[in-house]
Amino acid sequence: MSNPLARLFPRLVDRRSSVEAITPRRTFQDVVLPPVTRRLLDDALTQVHSYELIFTRWGLGERHPTGTALAFNFAGPSGTGKTICAEAIAHALGKRLLLVRYSEMESMWFGETPKNVAAVFRLAEEEDAVLFFDEADAIASSRSTDVSHGQQREANTVVNVLLQELERFDGVVIFATNLAANFDPAFERRIRTHVLFELPGVDERERIWEVQLHRRTPVAEDVSFRDLAEAYAVSGGDIRNAVLRAALAAAAEPGPDDGKRIHQHHFVRAMEDVLAGKRVMTQSIIEPNVELRRTAEAVAQILPLLAQMQARTLISVAVAGAALLTAMTALILLLS
């Protein structure tokens, strides 16, 4: 079957697609959340479920034809379950999830982002899908009064288009942002509920370790998820990565497959590797700042020298200028 996105919006869907329609498979059974997040999410779900009753069966949709979109913001650090929960909401509604990787769309289609944002709303309407703007920090941020840059102008237009579309749309829209997103007040007003995704506590971590495995996964007797949860204060995403690494390591060991088990040392080693990988990433982000500081220090050291040189240069130029003036005056006198 041909991709309906490609048929409707050929320019939006290419090899590195920034828009993807997903048939959700993951449910709330697969998610373990801290109590506060759970409560906020339940509240969001109640709103979604009541929506049909209020706006369709009770007719309020006809009385209030605009401004009825259910817009949620899922805010929190990476790997805390924002995407999985968006999928679970779509699953609970029996709808597809239209995933928009906003930052990718923005960088791929400079100059066309506002048009594309409008297009995905049309598409979500046609497909009756839950619209999910992933990595939407840029979209959510305040409009700027400085429109001297094309990029800034475009960002402002995107927010305006988004506000208009939210006004017209009558479905469910979810934005995923990190905690630092600086919300435009007009945009903020249209968000019904902000769901804060926090890093899991020790109890949640223990359960996340468990839900990351399948009942067929061979886990050795010596494994203690409680110990792992206590030893590593990490996100669900990190636990997922460690579980997959541990399984790979156990599977790669010699011997018949039937005898293979994932042991505690596989999980420990895998988590250490995940953490080491993250440290490398952080360093590569921090390193340029160190470099920047060193450069600034070096510049600070040579600045007085430069100033001295500049003073000398100025004096030399002034002396040369005076000499030239004298020579020219002499020449004029000679010729007159």
As a whole number of angstroms, the distance between CA 236 and CA 173 comes to 24
| Residue-by-residue DSSP string for 9-68 | -TTT-STT-SEEEE-----GGG----HHHHHHHHHHHHHHHHHIIIIIIT-HHHH--SS-
194 forms bridges with which residues in the sheet? 73
Whether the CB-CB separation of 147 and 156 falls below 8 Å is answered with: yes
Residue 24 interacts with ligand ATP (CB under 6 A): yes or no: no
CB of 197 to ligand ATP, least distance (A): 6
Q: Which two tokens stand for residue 236?
A: 């669900």
Closest CB to ligand ATP among 171 and 236?
236
Residues 144-183, mask of contacts with ligand ATP (x by CB under 6 A): --------------------------------x-------
Residues 50-79, mask of contacts with ligand ATP (x by CB under 6 A): ----------------------------xx
Sorted by sequence, the CB contacts under 8 Å of residue 242 that are 6+ apart come out as: 234, 267, 270, 271, 273, 274
As a whole number of angstroms, the distance between CA 158 and CA 321 comes to 57
As a whole number of angstroms, the distance between CA 165 and CA 69 comes to 9
Q: Which two tokens stand for residue 229?
A: 């949860």
Among 17, 73, 80, 83, contact with Mg ion (rule: CB under 5 A): 83
Whether the CB-CB separation of 174 and 132 falls below 8 Å is answered with: yes
Among 18, 69, 71, 81, contact with ligand ATP (rule: CB under 6 A): 81
Among 18, 73, 80, 116, contact with ligand ATP (rule: CB under 6 A): 80
| Residue-by-residue DSSP string for 128-152 | T-EEEEET-HHHHBPP-S---SHHH
Q: Residue 78 touches which of Mg ion, ligand ATP, none (CB < 5 to 8 A by kind)?
A: ligand ATP
CB of 38 to ligand ATP, least distance (A): 10
Q: Residue 80 touches which of Mg ion, ligand ATP, none (CB < 5 to 8 A by kind)?
A: ligand ATP
Among 28, 45, 237, 242, contact with ligand ATP (rule: CB under 6 A): 237
Residue 73 interacts with Mg ion (CB under 5 A): yes or no: no
Q: Residue 24 touches which of ligand ATP, Mg ion, none (CB < 5 to 8 A by kind)?
A: none
Stretch that binds ligand ATP, among 47-55, 219-227, 232-240, 308-316 (CB under 6 A): 232-240
Q: Say how many residues touch Mg ion, by CB under 5 A.
A: 2
> Which conformational region is residue 34 in: left (phi greater than 0), alpha (psi within -120 to 50 degrees), or beta?
beta
CB of 93 to ligand ATP, least distance (A): 18
Stretch that binds Mg ion, among 78-86, 259-267, 283-291, 320-328 (CB under 5 A): 78-86
Considering only residues 26 to 55 of the shown chain, the ones binding ligand ATP according to CB under 6 A are 31-33
Among 18, 83, 116, 156, contact with ligand ATP (rule: CB under 6 A): 83
Alpha helices in the chain, H assignment, sequence order: 4-8, 35-51, 60-63, 82-93, 102-108, 113-127, 137-140, 150-168, 185-189, 202-211, 225-231, 236-251, 264-335
Query: Interface residues with ligand ATP (CB under 6 A)?
Result: 31-33, 78-84, 176, 197, 200, 208, 211, 236-237, 240
Query: Interface residues with Mg ion (CB under 5 A)?
Result: 82-83
